[in-house]
Structure 1
Amino acid sequence: DVANEAIAGIREVGADNLILVPGTSWTGAHSWFGDWYGGANAEVLLSIKDPANNYAFEIHQYFDDDFSGTLNNCSRAADAVDAISEVGDWLKKTGQRGFLGEFGVPGTPECTAVLTEVVKLLDEDKSSWIGWTYWAAGDWWPETEELNIQPTKNGDRPQLSSLTPVLNDFLGASEGCPGLERP
């Protein structure tokens, strides 16, 4: 109800922009179907109403032991990729759209490989996934932050290097952002 009230308030002032709707408690793909604090996101969020029909669900996903992004490993990468795929299937089945609003990996080869895999998975399902944002970047992040993608004086970090081909494809695309179009 709170999300619907917020959406109604945004629309009442005349805004018709895209609204990203997070999960009801946790917003991870790995927990999307779990019953957390009053119901699973996959059930509760189907009650979202937007008069402008211009919203997407914001999903987060990390690949470490506890899916938090705080551990320096990608030990649960296969589980996380499966979870993202399952949420994608749910988005398609229910006619919803998703945005992977937070994901990141340490710069090890096995982790950057999963980063490339996830972006490819999302790119192959543009009817369900409208985009993604990597976590974290910016000069304010410490050099020691394992997920930091910010280039250094020595060049690009491995995470950014693994995303560069995808970013170059996007920057060279003439179609703009087709994922934002509602059917």
Structure 2
Amino acid sequence: MHQYLDSDNSGTSDVCVSGTIGAERVASATKWLRDNKKVGILGEFAGGANTQCQSAVKGLLESLQTNSDVWLGALWWAAGPWWGDYIFNFEPPSGTGYTYYNSLLKSYVP
């Protein structure tokens, strides 16, 4: 599954709908996984480098962690030197996603 936090779920904007949209958007998938006795992984997610998106990403990750019986994990989109100044680039040491979210994401790794 993929989940973005912008208004059209496309991941093309660094503006998140709200600080709670991450948890809200994975709630129905969480229910579906549990009802169908399945497990899932969030294969792509990202949010813009701003406080509203940071709250949304944190809420999304907390929801996945709380429901770890059905969620195996999540992967940030995207990384690699070819992404350059892309709004979600997690390429160390200077990608926007990396500089803004590295510390937060590390806090969810056991």
Task: Tell me the TM-score range normalised by the shorter chain.
Answer: 0.7 to 0.9
Mapped to 1, the partners of 2:17 and 2:94 lie a distance apart of: 30
Secondary structure of the structure 2 residue equivalent to 1:99: strand
TM-score, scaled relative to structure 1: 0.54
Partner of 1:149: 90
Does structure 2 retain, via aligned residues, the 8 Å contact 1:115–1:162? no
Secondary structure of the structure 2 residue equivalent to 1:95: coil
Secondary structure of the structure 1 residue equivalent to 2:43: strand
Question: CA-atom RMSD, angstroms?
Answer: 2.1
- Answer yes or no: is 1:105 the counterpart of 2:52: no
Give the CA deviation at 1:97.
1.0
Distance 1:105 1:78, change over 3 A: same
The number of aligned residues is: 109
Partner of 1:132: 74
The one-letter code matched in structure 2 to 1:108 is N
Does structure 1 retain, via aligned residues, the 8 Å contact 2:19–2:55? no
Does structure 2 retain, via aligned residues, the 8 Å contact 1:63–1:75? yes
For structure 2, which runs of at least 5 residues remain unmatched after alignment? Answer: none
For structure 1, which runs of at least 5 residues remain unmatched after alignment? Answer: 1-58, 171-183
Does structure 2 retain, via aligned residues, the 8 Å contact 1:64–1:70? yes
Distance 1:102 1:88, change over 3 A: same
The one-letter code matched in structure 2 to 1:90 is W
Partner of 1:70: 12
Give the fraction of aligned pairs with identical amino acids, expressed as a percent. Answer: 28
Q: Which has the higher contact order (CA 8 A, sep 6+)?
A: 2
The one-letter code matched in structure 2 to 1:133 is L
Distance 1:77 1:68, change over 3 A: farther
TM-score, scaled relative to structure 2: 0.85
